[in-house]
Structure formats: C-alpha cells, structure tokens
Chains A and B, each alone.
Chain A
Amino acid sequence: MTMINIAKDFSRTPGGRHIKDGKYSGEEFRKKLLEPLFADRTERTKIVVILDGVEGYPTSFLEEAFGQLARIVGKEVCLVRFEFVSEEEPLLKEEITQYIETSDEE
C-alpha cells in the first residue's frame, strides 16, 4: 500500500489546473506524485490518498489531478487502486470519484 498525504507530501495550499497557471497546480501534483505510481500499468497496489489538512480544494485542481490521470491511464484502474480518506470533507471522496468516472465523457 502507498500513502499520499496531500498536505504533507505536496502542499497545504493547492492551486489551479495547469503548471503554467501558478504554484501547486493539479497538473504538478499529478505528474510528481500520481503518474510515477502508474508507470507499470499492471501494478495494482492500493494508493491511499489523505485529503485532510489543506486549506481547500478547487474543482480545477481535483479534476486535473485525478480526472486527467484517469484519461491517461484509464478510469477502471484508478477506481480500483485509489482509496480516499477525508474526515474534514467526506463528500470530497464522492466528488473525486465522479471526476474519475466521468473522465472519458467529451
């Protein structure tokens, strides 16, 4: 099992969508912390993502981090591997799951 604590491992102040938009973007988070875990497409180790401890989550950050990841590696593998933990905002887990599930809708 791999654990990612966004507040400690990335930033307590998530930013916008793209790296070019500014600091701590969803794209930066995805490239630095998430994509390396999916380098081996056959890997099925659980990834626990702790969402607590940040100042807030813009939709663009979450969608770019998780939705775009699902578009890259496939939504099924994301749904299988990710487990989200949030005591401060329980509804966040559903929101991120929805971004993954709807990632292939254009």
Chain B
Amino acid sequence: MLRRWHTPEWKLRQRRITRKKHKREGVWRTNTPIQQSNGITVEDGEIKRPRVKRASINVDVPKKFSITNNTEEALAMFNKGFGHKEAHQEVYVNMSEVSTMTPDAILYLVSQLHYYDRLPSVRIAGNMPADPECRRLLVESGFTKYVRSNVPEPEPSAKILSIKSGSLVEPEIAKQVIDFSRGHLGIQRNKNSKSIYATIIECMANTRDHAYGPEDKDRQWWLIARYNDAEDKVEFAFLDNGYTIPRTIQQNFVEKAIGIDSSLIESALNGKFRTRTRKRHRGKGLPRMKQYNDQGFIKDLTIVSRRAFVRCNTGEVKNTGSRFHGTLLTWSLS
C-alpha cells in the first residue's frame, strides 16, 4: 500500500532552503513555482523521491543588449535561452556584463518571460546588470513587476514610461504615451503627436486583428517609451509575439517558395496589396507609418519581424540569421 508522509522537520528544512536562495542580491526568476518533491513516498519499504530532471542552460546576455542596434547577437542569445519549450529546462540569464541596453531588448525579454511563465516545464532565473545605468533602466522599465525578485520596487521615473501591455486597443494608454512625450519635448497637439498617437493605435489594432490566430488566447502587445536626454528625443518600442508580418501577409507562389522576409515587409510598407483579409480597404496601417516617417513626423522607424530587419531612415533592409518571434516596431520623436 502506497503511503505518503513527511516529518515536520523535513517541511521546515525545505522552507529554509527556499528562503536562502532568495536572499542573494539582485536575482530574479519567473513565477513558475519551484517544484518541490511531493513528499517522500514509501512503497514496499523503499523510499522514493520523485523529481523532475531539468536540463540547465546558461545564457550570457551580450554587452550591447539591443535588438535594433545589435540584432544578430541579441537574437542568437534569445533563441539559445528561449528556444526549447518542450524539454524540462532551467535557464539562467546572466546580465552582469551588459554595458548598454535599449528599451526594445527589455520589452522582448519581458514578453518572452511572460510566455514561458505559463509553461511549467521551463523555469527561468537571472541576475541584474552590474552597470548602474543599465540596472536602473531595467528596474525603472518595470521589469521587476514581471518576475519574482528581491529588487525593491522603483520610484516612478520621469524619464521612462514603464512597460504597458494589453490585448485590446487602449486609447487611454496611447494618450499616456503622448502626454509623456509632450511633457519632455514641450510640444502641443500637432501633426507629430497625432502621428505618434495614430501609430500606437494602429500597432494595437494590428496586433488585435492580424498578429495572432483565432486559437490564441493570449494576444498581448507590449509598449514602452523612454526619454533619451542625451539626444533630446523620446524613443518608443512596440511589440507582439504573434505570427509575424511575413507569415500573415499575402504572398504569391514564388514568395512562398523563396520566403525572403525583408522584401515582404518592404513591400507591405510601400502599400502593395498585402493584407491577409484580401480587402482593398484594409492594410493601410503600415504604409501610413512609413509615410509619417518619410514626412519626418516620426523618425528612425525600424521593423523586426521573423527574419526581417527594415530600418526606414537608412534604407537598411536585411534578413537576420536568427528568428525574432513576433514583430517589433521602434521609432522616435524629437
């Protein structure tokens, strides 16, 4: 007869072990509960301790932690650490060597942690950057709200609008972003601010309507804004973890065979009939964003989606070696 029991001392010891782990400074982990043994079981006089064996992966975050400015290295790191959701694994994200960091990389990290938080087979933990500026940016971005951490809650920062997320089109959040921009740049309601507002709503609507399939229950978008006082501009990053633009837009037979992601995005930006709804009155969001960029109402529009990288200002169009899971748009306003 199978019996389960454990002594009170055993339970107390387990609690002490858990508390000791969290006392180390500047560490974090996802909310996936630590799997304890359910207790010692005794079967035919033999003690059995069921445990889950986990593969361990150490991931070193590159010193320049940026999707838009260090694309290959950053994406390779993400794919190494977050690419194996089937196997039981523990991932340790080492950020100690990071010396520069951009909000888009933080956004992607948080979105990936959010995704893996729902998978009991994957447990992720990590540390904070040693560099004080990067550490401050990470904390003020709201990163610690999405993980379990002993890092104290930050004071609201004037220079960063912490991470926002949602699954609907949220005009109030878009308004918050505009007010944040106005506060730093001293602009009134004009074509620039209206372009930003319209762009944000378009991004949310695109996520809602196109980025995910009908079976996806979690249709999150993620948004962050930061005031870069060195360059006197506000930088925005918006992303979703959906199907990606190259997958969701209409492709002809040749494009499906060859599959050049960057040229597909370029085509969609230029207003070629690409919407997967196949309706002529749809698919105007991306061309309009590009138009705003071309007219100077927004700047530095950059899109990363699946294996595509398009930087509108410089005309840089390339395919990346590693895949980006979703779509990232960044732009700025000065």
Contact = CB atoms under 8 A, between A and B. Distances in A.
Interface of A: 11, 13-17, 21-25, 54-61, 63, 67, 88-89, 99, 102-103, 105-106
B198 A59 contact: yes
B245 interface: no
Which applies to chain B's interface (DSSP): helix, strand, loop or mixed? Answer: helix
Given A59-B202, A61-B201, A88-B189, A15 B171 contact: yes
Interface in B68-115: none
Residues of A contacting B: mostly? loop
Q: Contact residue range for chain B? A: 20 to 34
B193 A58 contact: no
A58 to B, nearest CB: 4
Given A21-B209, A23-B168, A88-B190, 13 more contacts: A14-B201, A15-B169, A22-B169, A22-B204, A55-B193, A56-B178, A58-B198, A58-B201, A59-B284, A60-B209, A63-B281, A105-B280, A106-B279
Nearest to A92: B194
B172 interface: yes
Given A13-B175, A89-B191, A56 B196 contact: yes
A60 B203 CA distance: 11
A58 B168 CA distance: 15
A99 B170 CA distance: 24
B285 A103 contact: no
Given A13-B175, A21-B209, A22-B171, A56 B285 contact: no
Given A11-B171, A21-B169, A59-B202, A102 B281 contact: yes
B281 A99 contact: yes
Interface in B169-194: 169-172, 174-175, 178, 189-191, 193-194
Given A55-B194, A58-B205, A60-B205, A14 B171 contact: yes
Contact of A56 (B172, B194, B209, B282): B194
A56 B193 CA distance: 8
Given A13-B171, A24-B171, A56 B201 contact: yes
A88 B193 CA distance: 12
